[in-house]
Amino acid sequence: MKRPPTPKPPLTLAIAAVIRRIPRGRVSTYGAVAEAAGYPRCARHVSKVLNQVPGLPWQRVLGSGGRISLPGEYGFEQRFLLEAEGVRFKGRRVDLARYEHCFLRKRRKPSSGKR
DNA sequence: GCTTTGACTGGAA
DNA sequence: GTTCCAGCCAAAG
């Protein structure tokens, strides 16, 4: 079964998986997501993934310092959606100290011993 | 295989 | 406080 090397590159899937793990009422940053996905310096790719992979809570992804990097009307919408989830804004930024989600490391089956 | 593209980031002005 | 620049990295054309 040869199949093309994954329709979506691992980087995209990894980032998408990380973003899906962000619970409601929490946020994260591009850099944090990229790092959690295994690509520490690929913050820019996170933005691409958000566009390529639908169904992701894109509003929960913010720029550094909790600021909204999304230009245009979408920036306001992002803020609106986050507030609807209970995230409070401090001016133009989110209080990351309170709402930044802490990604747990990939846990391999807790019951299967062997690491 | 080279070029362009990004919802970025951090530092300097 | 804000704005601009250069650096980084992988995917898509």
- Nucleic strand C within 7 A of Cβ A2: no
The tokens for A36 are: 């959690």
The reply to whether A86 Cβ lies less than 7 angstroms from strand C is no
Q: What is the rounded end-to-end Cα distance, in angstroms, of chain A? A: 30
In chain A, positions 4-23 with C-beta closer than 7 Å to nucleic chain B are: none
User: How far apart (Å, rounded) are the C-alpha atoms in residues A8 and A30?
Assistant: 19
| Nearest nucleotide over every DNA/RNA strand to the A8 CA, judged by C1' | C11
Q: Report, in this order, helix, strand and coil percent for chain A, each rounded to 5.
A: 45, 10, 45
Identify the CA nearest to A27 among candidates A48, A50, A52, A57: A57
Overall pTM > 0.85: yes
What residues in chain A have per-residue pLDDT under 70?
1-6, 105-108, 110, 113, 115
Tell me: the pLDDT tens digits for A6-16?
677 889 999 99
The sign of the CA dihedral A72, A41, A10, A82 is negative
CA A10 to C1' B4, whole Å: 21
Q: Tell which strand B nucleotides have any atom below 7 Å from a protein Cβ.
A: 6-10
